[in-house]
Amino acid sequence: MAADWLLLESFPEPQAARLRFYGWARPSFTFGYGQKWRAVRAVCPDEGDLIRRPTGGGLVDHRTDWTYALVLPPVHPLALARACESYRAIHEALAGALREMGVICRLQPEDCGQPASQPARETLAICFQQAETFDVVRTDDGRKIAGAAQKRTRHGLLFQGSVNRAAARELKDGGKLAEVFAQRLGARLGAMPHSYKNAPWAASLAAETTARFQAKEWNEKR
């Protein structure tokens, strides 16, 4: 979460789009900014880390996923667009990458002007239990492959997404998916992707931001 936030606020090229595709070193779970800590803690396994995201959305189990963050500068058309429009555009690029690698998938359809179905007030939102508008789903059985959440600030749009490896069962190589996804996003955004081998911010800033997301004050604030 710290690195995703630094991509948004502290990237040395603020007018560039940036993509980070990653895995997890230990069992981890993230939950949406607006969710209640106690409700999430009650249903989340005790193993591993439980971290509040800066974006919305539901509880995500990262033990069986590939995770990514995309940041678009505040002047980019998709950063200025309605949330459903940016969601659709990014997931179209992801679905195209998955199909190129043999995964049978499509976007979950629903009119952009209609609200996606919401869980009952007393029910905790869990990301992969139900597909919402423009999520990536399997073509054969409708199982959800990918979902995401967004946050817009003066620094731009932060888009945090998750790809369920079990649902995308034809695909075994997350590194190759990251490469193809970056190419397709680059074509959609009109940019040529290139990689950073080292974090483009100071180690002290990374440590400070990591401590923020690890803090009880952040994770249990609601």
In tens, the pLDDT along 19-53 reads 999 989 999 999 999 999 999 999 998 888 999 99
**Whole-angstrom distance, CA of residue 115 vs CA of residue 84:** 10
CB atoms inside a 10 Å sphere around CB 211: 11
Q: Are 159 and 86 in contact (CB under 8 A)?
A: yes
Give the pLDDT score at 171.
Answer: 92
pLDDT at 116 over 80: no
Q: How confident is the model at residue 114 (pLDDT cuts 50, 70, 90)?
A: very low
User: pTM of the full predicted structure?
Assistant: 0.90
Which are the contacts of 101, defined by CB distance < 8 A and separation ≥ 6?
Answer: 170, 171, 173, 176, 177, 180
Q: Which of 96-100, 134-138, 218-222 has the lowest mean pLDDT?
A: 218-222
Q: Is residue 163 a contact partner of residue 3, using CB atoms and an 8 Å limit?
A: no
pLDDT at site 123: 62
Q: Which domains does the chain have, with CATH numbers?
A: 2-209 (3.30.930.10)
Residue 148 has pLDDT above 50, yes or no: yes
CB 33 within 8 A of CB 53: yes
**29-38, 59-68, 112-121, 122-131: the lowest-pLDDT one:** 112-121
